[in-house]
Amino acid sequence: MEQLILDGGSTDCTKDVVEAFEHAKYVYLPKSNQSEALNEGFRQAKGDIICWLNTDDILLPGTFDIAVSELERHGPRTYFTSHYLMVDENLELLRKHRVPDFSSFLYRNYAVYLPTSGSFISNTVADDGICLDANLEILMDRDYALQLLEKGYNFARYNGYLSAFRLHQDNKSGVGRLFKGQEDPRAERRISERSRISESYGGLFMGDTRVVPPNRGLSRLAWMRLAATLRLSLLRVKVEDFAGVEDVAPALARWTHELGAATIQRGLQA
């Protein structure tokens, strides 16, 4: 396992922490944005499988074993993802999110809903000329998925929870959830980027041929379809919880306790 820590110019003790782990490599990229840093990580990665993990993302125990097994089963040029947990700043469970299957129609015309946390991809992206658009600050993952689609990558989903996303006021992906109905520059940027991506990729396709150009009606239809899908997913979560299936709260609490104890112990040793 190789871990690349891509630092765009932090002023904390990131470098000192990374150097305490033999398997980790610190890559300092001053003044780079998130997309530029991740692209450099994709170029430097030597493993057969890449996992893109943001600062606010957490992988749950056993995730690597499942990812390796699933990617071996689905074959090369596969983007593999999973359901995820939403947690607060203290890693307390807020809710569970069941991720719908990938839909090229939804991604082309409206939304991004696949999490990057708990997602893995074959290490062929750099060779295929696929990279994150450095001009996008919020929806670069939607554009990235559409590039993968155009290059013929498969999309697979594991029917379980492999990651947690930490929600707070400063993360970019929380814009829609935390600032709904409010004026915020990030929310405005998100709308602008959504329109730009839809203009580039949107419309109705027959195979690889676009037969209808992007328009407001298709975007509205995509939004309605996604909303209905997410409501159904929420119902499945409620049924899951009622039946006691996939009860992740105790496991998350136990893992959080163990993580905190290990962090304290490492600090004492240092």
- pLDDT tens per residue across span 29-39: 888 888 898 89
| pLDDT, mean of residues 40-44 | 90
The first and second tokens of residue 96, run together, are 């569970």
| pLDDT, mean of residues 145-173 | 85
Q: How many CB atoms lie within 10 A of CB 168?
A: 11
User: Residue 239: pLDDT above 70?
Assistant: yes
Torsion of CA 28, 34, 38, 40, to 10 degrees: -50
User: Residue 94: pLDDT above 90?
Assistant: no
3-state secondary structure of 47: coil
**Confidence category of residue 140, pLDDT binned at 50, 70, 90:** very high
- How is the chain split into domains, by residue range? 1-32, 46-269
Provide the angle, in degrees to the nearest 10, between the axes of the packed helices 140-150 and 185-201.
Answer: 10
* 38, 132 contact by CB (below 8 A): yes
Torsion of CA 11, 133, 139, 217, to 10 degrees: 160
- DSSP 8-state class, residue 110: T
User: Residue 123: pLDDT above 50?
Assistant: yes
Per-residue pLDDT at 56: 79
| pLDDT, mean of residues 102-125 | 89
Q: What is the C-alpha separation between 33 and 210, in angstroms, rounded?
A: 33
User: Residue 109: pLDDT above 50?
Assistant: yes
Mean per-residue pLDDT of the chain: 83
Q: What is the C-alpha separation between 177 and 92, in angstroms, rounded?
A: 17
The residue count for the chain = 270
* 160, 83 contact by CB (below 8 A): yes
Question: Comparing 1-10, 30-39, 255-264, which segment has the lowest mean pLDDT?
Answer: 255-264
| pLDDT, mean of residues 232-245 | 78
User: Residue 263: pLDDT above 60?
Assistant: no
User: Residue 137: pLDDT above 90?
Assistant: no
**pTM for the whole thing?**
0.82
The first and second tokens of residue 208, run together, are 């690889």
Per-residue pLDDT at 151: 93
Q: Which amino acid is at 90?
A: N
Per-residue pLDDT at 179: 45
Higher-confidence residue: 185 or 25?
Answer: 25
Higher-confidence residue: 201 or 242?
Answer: 201
- What Rg do the C-alpha atoms of the chain give, in angstroms? 19
The first and second tokens of residue 78, run together, are 């596969």
Higher-confidence residue: 146 or 265?
Answer: 146
Q: What is the C-alpha separation between 75 and 81, in angstroms, rounded?
A: 14
User: Residue 171: pLDDT above 80?
Assistant: no
Q: How many CB atoms lie within 10 A of CB 145?
A: 24
% of the chain exceeding 70 in pLDDT:
83
Return the CATH fold of 46-269. Answer: Spore Coat Polysaccharide Biosynthesis Protein SpsA; Chain A (3.90.550)
Q: What is the C-alpha separation between 258 and 252, in angstroms, rounded?
A: 10
Catalogue the E-assigned strands of the chain.
3-7, 24-28, 49-51, 57-59, 78-87, 93-97, 120-122, 154-166, 204-206, 209-212
The first and second tokens of residue 51, run together, are 């996992």
